[in-house]
Structure 1
Amino acid sequence: MRNLILSAALVAASVFGMSVQAAEPPADGKYVELNNPVPVAVPGKIEVVELFWYGCPHCYSFEPTINPWIEKLPKDVHFVRVPAMFGGAWDAHGQMFLTLEAMGVEGKVHSAVFNAIQVEHKRLTKPEEMADFLATQGVDKDKFLATFNSFAIKGQVQKARDLAKKYEISGVPTMVVNGKYRFDLGSAGGPEETINVADQLIAKERAAQ
């Protein structure tokens, strides 16, 4: 997992008011049960959240494992991607993701954005730079810029920051099941193991309903 260095984590904790206290992990150490469960976005469904950053190579390498899994999730599971924002490029990329999501085109360009940053080494940290690249992917440049700077997106940015704080994350990729259980590639033991932990926790929550 792409862990933040201690000083960066402390800065993030200061800026976002992040709690550094969480429940102890279970005996197998694969996940942490949060002391304060976070309400899910769609009541009645089992929520799975992936917190990520386009600039994270581990998030990028996780894509071939998590994407096919997402496509096969049953109807009672609601999957959500949430951009982690720890300042700088994290914030810029997170706001870009939320803008694309609001425009209804994120699913079409998600892989292209990841590839541009991770493989082509584009920075994509300035709105105009983002818009120029996204135009090559069929996204309306003017609409993107207007949406990016809108009041609605500012609200979504704050919501994403609040969620990261409540989930008590310190790096990405991190997953959270039903607002209760947090785990990552490091604690689970790798990409496939992370998916296995998600499946086990989904089954646990389904049985509890």
Structure 2
Amino acid sequence: MIKLFSALIFSFLIPLTAAAAEYSDGNGYTTIKTPVRTSDPSKIEVTEIFWYGCPHCYKLEPITHAWEQNKPSDVDFKFLPAVFGRGWLAHAKAFYVADLLGIEDKLRADLFNAIHVERRNLNSEDALANFFVNYGVSEDEFHKQFNSFAVNSRLSQADAKIRAYGARGVPGLIVNGKYLVTAETANGNENIYNVVDFLIEKERQK
């Protein structure tokens, strides 16, 4: 009986060990050479680097939303808009306007949908101001925030962080300032958050 019990335990340990070894540096994620300080050391920080105009970010959005709704209590989740091209700047500033006004979570999916499904041209300050009116933000208030010191300051901070992460495209998920997960490293959008969950547990064990 003892031998049988030991064999059963061993049979369960094999798949668990295999699962634990499923991802490694270069297989699922990339380790960031110099870890970047997180906002709250008491939490495990997960940050999504994105661009509203990115079709891959658009496809990842419902997966991100579902994961965000059920994220562990010890995880601090953030969005970080990237500016890898001249046309990305207006969207990054719009993100910070929405964030400062407390409505980004309300308009995120709608903005993605307007750009990628409705094919609306929302690449200018004026077009975005008109879009924000639907969320109770006057055009004057939008322009004021869009060109504010607060928004420009956050843009500079975001740019510095993204460079420190070594990210060169979107979407990208940063776990605790130490690991970069992309569709390429994770072998597809649908697997990104499996790798993220693995890395969260890795950090939790530390």
Name the TM tier (shorter chain). 0.7 to 0.9
- Could you list the per-position Cα deviations for residues 53-107 of structure 1 after superposition, in whole angstroms to 9, with x for gaps in the alignment? 1111010001111111111112110000000111322111111111111111111
Tell me what 2:46 maps to. Answer: 48
Aligned residues: 184
User: Structure 2, unaligned stretches of length 5 or more?
Assistant: 1-22
Q: Aligned match of 1:160 in 158, 161, 171?
A: 158
Distance 1:70 1:140 in 2: 29
Q: Aligned match of 2:79 in 70, 78, 81?
A: 81
Distance 2:135 2:149 in 1: 25
Decide which moves more: 172-181 or 182-191: 182-191
Distance 1:53 1:28 in 2: 24
Distance 1:43 1:146 in 2: 34
- Could you list the per-position Cα deviations for residues 126-173 of structure 1 after superposition, in whole angstroms to 9, with x for gaps in the alignment? 211111111123333221111111111110010111111011111110
Q: Aligned match of 1:95 in 93, 96, 100?
A: 93
Summarize the alignment of residues 5-84 of structure 1 with structure 2, pairs less than 5 Å apart.
Answer: 26=24, 29-84=27-82
Decide which moves more: 129-138 or 89-98: 129-138
Q: Aligned match of 2:107 in 106, 109, 121?
A: 109
Q: Aligned match of 2:169 in 168, 171, 181?
A: 171
SS in 2 for 1:31: strand
Tell me what 1:194 maps to. Answer: 192
Higher share of residues assigned helix: 2
Distance 1:168 1:139 in 2: 35
AA at the equivalent of 1:96:
A
Decide which moves more: 136-145 or 162-171: 136-145
Distance 1:93 1:115 in 2: 14
AA at the equivalent of 1:111:
A
Distance 1:139 1:120 in 2: 21
Tell me what 2:9 maps to. Answer: none
Q: C-alpha displacement at 1:28, in angstroms?
A: 5.7
Aligned partners of 2:25 and 2:31 also within 8 Å: no
Q: Which has the larger radius of gyration?
A: 2
Distance 1:146 1:60 in 2: 28
Task: Return the TM-score normalized by structure 2.
Answer: 0.85
Aligned partners of 2:84 and 2:169 also within 8 Å: no
User: Structure 1, unaligned stretches of length 5 or more?
Assistant: 1-24
Distance 2:25 2:106 in 1: 40
Q: C-alpha displacement at 1:191, in angstroms?
A: 2.2
Distance 1:195 1:114 in 2: 20
AA at the equivalent of 1:163:
K
Aligned partners of 2:48 and 2:80 also within 8 Å: yes
Distance 1:42 1:141 in 2: 35
Distance 1:135 1:118 in 2: 20
AA at the equivalent of 2:142:
F
The percent identity for this pair of structures is 41
Aligned partners of 2:26 and 2:185 also within 8 Å: no
SS in 2 for 1:90: helix
| CA RMSD after TM alignment | 1.4
Task: Return the TM-score normalized by structure 1.
Answer: 0.84
